[in-house]
Structure 1
Amino acid sequence: MITEEKLPLEFRKNIKELLEDEYSDYIKSFEQSMYKGIRINTNKIKLTDWQEINPFKNLELVPWCEEGQYYQDVRPAKHPYYFAGLYYIQEPSAMAAISFLPINKDDFVLDLCAAPGGKSTQVSTKIGADGILVVNDISFSRARTLEKNIEAFGVKNAMIVSEDPKKLATIWESYFDKIIIDAPCSGEGMFRKDENAIKSWENFDIKYFNKLQAEILESAAKMLKVDGMILYSTCTFSLLENENIIANFLNKHDNFESVPLTAKNGLSNGFDGTSIRLWPHKIKGEGHFICLLKKKYGNNLNKLNSKLYKQLKDYKFVSLFFKENTNMNLNEYVIEKNNKLYLISKNMPEHEKIRTLRSGLYLGDIKQNSFIPSHALCMAYNKDFFKYTINFKSTDIEVIKYLKGETLLENVSNGYYVICVDGFPLGWVKALDNKLKNKYPPNLRMG
């Protein structure tokens, strides 16, 4: 357990000035256990249906997130439903920010500092077929983790990139309706959750993060449409990184305003009267800051969308696979890169000069005269989309064997099948002589 003496002296001085009489309550919060949560994937299952199949006991609702639930004394990452993408494991207070961002079904949304993907996956349940989600992380290794989580959640209309926000701002000016900045910060709100956050705080000066945050805000401002909104959040308490940086930004940009947010469900108003703060001594969660900015006026430039030339039906062997195995519309537009095929929305932005991990939904690989379907394809659609499936109950031993990469035996015709758990797709197998060759990705297998 972290005691008051383990907290850096300068931090204690700063937090005392912020909290005044509440300082002792904050220190007592370190005696409490860390709160853990899952967020239900409503793209795959309705909340009412989840309650019917929920395998965990004593789940408690997270008050600021309709899809969020606290858990204790269970291991949700070991249940087959996790591998089916029915929920995302997330610290409960991290679920709060997106609840303050009004998202329309046809919005173009950019998550600028997106890894590991908590806010991106949350947004994905709110946009529709005509909306797009572009997720970015400047770190390529972190973007790989982001890619894995986007895939597991079954997100179809997402582009995954890894670039400096400054470069993106030169290409996607005035493009997005909503931009999310989960800003790199000093991490003071995570001290109770992770003792390493204290060591990081001691190694990095707050001014280092302050400079990064200001630069990211400037880039986001350029990429936002008129009447669009920037959601700015951190997991720290520092005024410099929160209310002060927002005040400095607004002083430089008279075409922006801070949108007043209403504090409820145990959340608190920020020191500027418009933002939101989450204090660990007042809620069941860690420390966060949330602010919403709106662009009042400016110039909306013409959009540069991706150039779409080919459809699924233009690929003979690919279209044959989809016709035989799925109910896919063969008129869907696709992009081929390095023999990998992506389903792409007509609204995806132009990205030829951007380091891109995925241009849309990764469908699979083209190899000579054949098509190898991807795991992402399996995760993106429901059971009825696929013509050949094999369904097991979550309690069946075959599910665990499959998730561990073992070969299964089943009396079926040769060809591709989707393994499902209680009707939710898990991954591919290829049947040959009643043996099901396991196609579950080795890096995702259950340990």
Structure 2
Amino acid sequence: MDFWTHLATNFPPDTANQIRRSLSDERTRGLLINTNKISVREYYSRFPDLTAHPFVSNGFLYDQKTYDFGKLFWHDLGAYYLQEPSAMSVVSFLDIKAGDSLLDLCAAPGGKTMQASLLLGEGGIILANDISHSRALILSSNVERLGLGNVVVTNNDFQTIYRSYLATFDKIILDAPCSGSGMFRKDEKMLKDWSYNKVMACQKKQIELLHIAYLMLKPGGTIAYSTCSFSKEENEDVITCLLSNSDAYLASITGKQGLYSSRHLDGPVYFLPSLFTGEGHFLALIKKPGQLRASQQRNNPYRGKYLALVRQYGLEKRHNLEIDDSLYSLSLPFNIKGLNVLRYGVRCFDEISKHPQPNHHLARFLGATQSLVLDDVSFREYLAGEMLNIEKAPGYHLVSYQGLNAGFVRAVDGKLKNLYPKGLRRR
């Protein structure tokens, strides 16, 4: 069975034909404003040709012919995250509350984690995991770039360790690995690689992941199950399997303008490129019966070797933990036993040649109120990794540009030694 025949078995003829025609249209890009760094109003005043996302208050749609946001310095400094508009919609339906503990099970490259982090604030925590080490590293680098402080990044196969986290999370995001038919307009190679056997192989994995996700969900909690597939086998059939083998039930998705309601289950929706300004996506909200109870977590005072620096940078109220020779700072404590942790909140300080040095992530996490403001020339030199001919008191200093922290420098002999990470430099 080819894809178009398969599509016609999942949707009425008119809808299937509309989807097929829409896949030849130009796609629309999206970006998520990092409201920890810049307000939506300020950003919109700088880029007035943006279109507001219908479901995401800090999300926008844009035409890449007008703006190429991936090449602007704002991207380097973490002012926004580039994200496909349909995928961006998922978190907005999850009703995240301040104080929630959240698991993003298949998180890389991190768009849904970034959005959830901004909604949670300092009162909550996200465990963002990806089974692929290379993809988890990309996830970790995005958490650093945006300066997020409430995210633990891990690289684990949760099918082997989920029993350690039974009934742990208030909300779970499961953006399940899928056959990718909803992304054909973005990547034509995916159409050539599509097969029904691939759909069924993905279904097996999706059923397993959704099962363990449900076991890790607290009573009263919610799972956002999503795919970028048009296939009923990967969407409604996976959910039906869970409903048949547990006490789970589906929640309705409100605000459905431009969305296509599932014909097979009451609640889930499709984001169809023929109806919504985005790529193909499926979303279901799955609930566990019970009353959601807030976790009682307290940060114990830190008394380690980095204490003076913790006080200097105002980190005393956070959960500060030494891992190897580095200090990490998280919004709330989280049990990481058995986890392969790549990032535990903010990586703040590293011991270099027996001396503490502030980490780049700390610069992105902190506000720019006490930073050295760079002019246009000095900023370009900084991004290129060059020494800055600026005299400051000996020691480490934050540098910023247009209200956004760029990183750290170290004042030595009347000059500023550049500490911008080598892998990020632009020449």
Same fold by TM-score, threshold 0.5 exceeded? yes
Q: Which residue of 1 aligns with 2:5?
A: 13
Q: Under a length normalisation based on structure 1, what TM-score does the superposition of the two structures give?
A: 0.89
Q: Structure 1 vs Structure 2: percent identity of aligned residues? A: 34
Query: Residues 16-415 of structure 1: matches in 2 within 5 Å?
Result: 16-17=8-9, 18-52=11-45, 54=46, 56-72=47-63, 73=65, 74-202=67-195, 205-253=198-246, 255-271=247-263, 272-297=265-290, 311=302, 313-315=303-305, 318-323=306-311, 326-330=312-316, 332-348=318-334, 350-367=335-352, 369-384=354-369, 387=370, 389-392=371-374, 396-415=376-395
Query: What is the deviation of 1:110?
Result: 0.3
Q: SS at the partner of 2:23?
A: helix
* Distance (whole Å) between structure 2 residues aligned to residue 30 and residue 234 of structure 1: 17
Give yes or no for contact 2:391–2:411 (8 Å, CA) kept in 1: no
- Checking the alignment, whether the CA contact within 8 Å between 2:150 and 2:332 is kept in structure 1 is no
Asked whether the 8 Å contact 2:148–2:345 carries over to 1, the reply is: no
SS of 2:222's partner is strand
Distance 1:327 1:344 in 2: 14
For 2:28, give the aligned amino acid: Y
Judge which range, 135-144 or 60-69, deviates more: 60-69
Shift of 1:367: 3.6
Deviation at 1:64, TM superposition (A): 2.2
**Does structure 1 conserve the Cα–Cα contact (< 8 Å) formed by 2:33 and 2:59?**
yes
Cα shift readout 1:318-374 (whole Å, capped 9, x = no counterpart): 333455xx44144644221221111134441x2221211122221121245421111
Give the structure-2-normalised TM-score: 0.93
Q: In the alignment, is the contact (CA less than 8 A) between 2:3 and 2:194 conserved in 1?
A: no
| Structure 1 residue identity aligned to 2:338 | K
| Displacement of 1:398 | 2.3
Structure 2 counterpart of 1:5: none
CA distance in 2, matches of 1:412, 1:203: 64
- Does the 8 A contact of 1:390 with 1:420 survive in 2? yes
Report how far residue 41 of structure 1 moved: 0.9
Does structure 2 retain, via aligned residues, the 8 Å contact 1:310–1:335? no
Residues 247, 382 of structure 1: CA spacing in aligned structure 2 closer, same or farther, 3 A cutoff? Answer: same
Moved more, 418-427 or 229-238: 418-427
Query: Which shifted more, 208-217 or 360-369?
Result: 360-369
Give the aligned partner of residue 396 of structure 2.
416
- Aligned pair in 2 of structure 1 residues 341, 51: CA closer, same or farther (>3 Å)? same
Range that drifts further, 19-28 or 228-237 = 19-28
Alpha-carbon deviation of 1:140?
1.0
Moved beyond 3 Å, runs of 4+: 297-300, 302-306, 319-323, 329-333, 344-347
Separation in structure 2 between the aligned mates of residue 43 and residue 391 of structure 1, nearest angstrom: 19
Alignment-derived partner of residue 420 in structure 2: 440
User: 1:240 deviation in Å?
Assistant: 0.5
Q: 1:124 to 1:298 in 2, by over 3 A?
A: closer
1:203/1:116 CA distance change after superposition, 3 Å: farther
Deviations 1:81-117 (A, max 9, x none): 1122110011111111111101110100000000000
What is the SS of the residue equivalent to 1:409? coil
* SS at structure 2 position matched to 1:166: coil
For 1:263 and 1:191, the matched residues in 2 are separated by 26
The 2-side partners of 1:305 and 1:165 are apart by: 23
Q: How many corresponding residue pairs?
A: 423
After superposition, the C-alpha distances for 1:295-331 in whole angstroms (9 at most, x for unaligned) are 004999x98989x8761x431xx333455xx441446
Alpha carbons 2:27, 2:186 under 8 Å: kept: yes
Distance 1:332 1:280, change over 3 A: closer
8 A contact 2:167–2:215 mirrored in 1: yes
Q: Is the 8 A contact 1:124 1:133 kept in 2?
A: yes
Aligned partners of 1:136 and 1:160 also within 8 Å: yes
SS at match of 1:42: coil
Deviations 1:242-284 (A, max 9, x none): 111111210111x211001125331221222311111111122
RMSD between superposed Cα atoms in Å: 2.3
Cα distance in 1 between the residues matched to 2:201 and 2:297 = 35
DSSP-derived class of the 1:210 partner: helix
- The answer to whether the 8 Å contact 2:34/2:81 transfers is yes
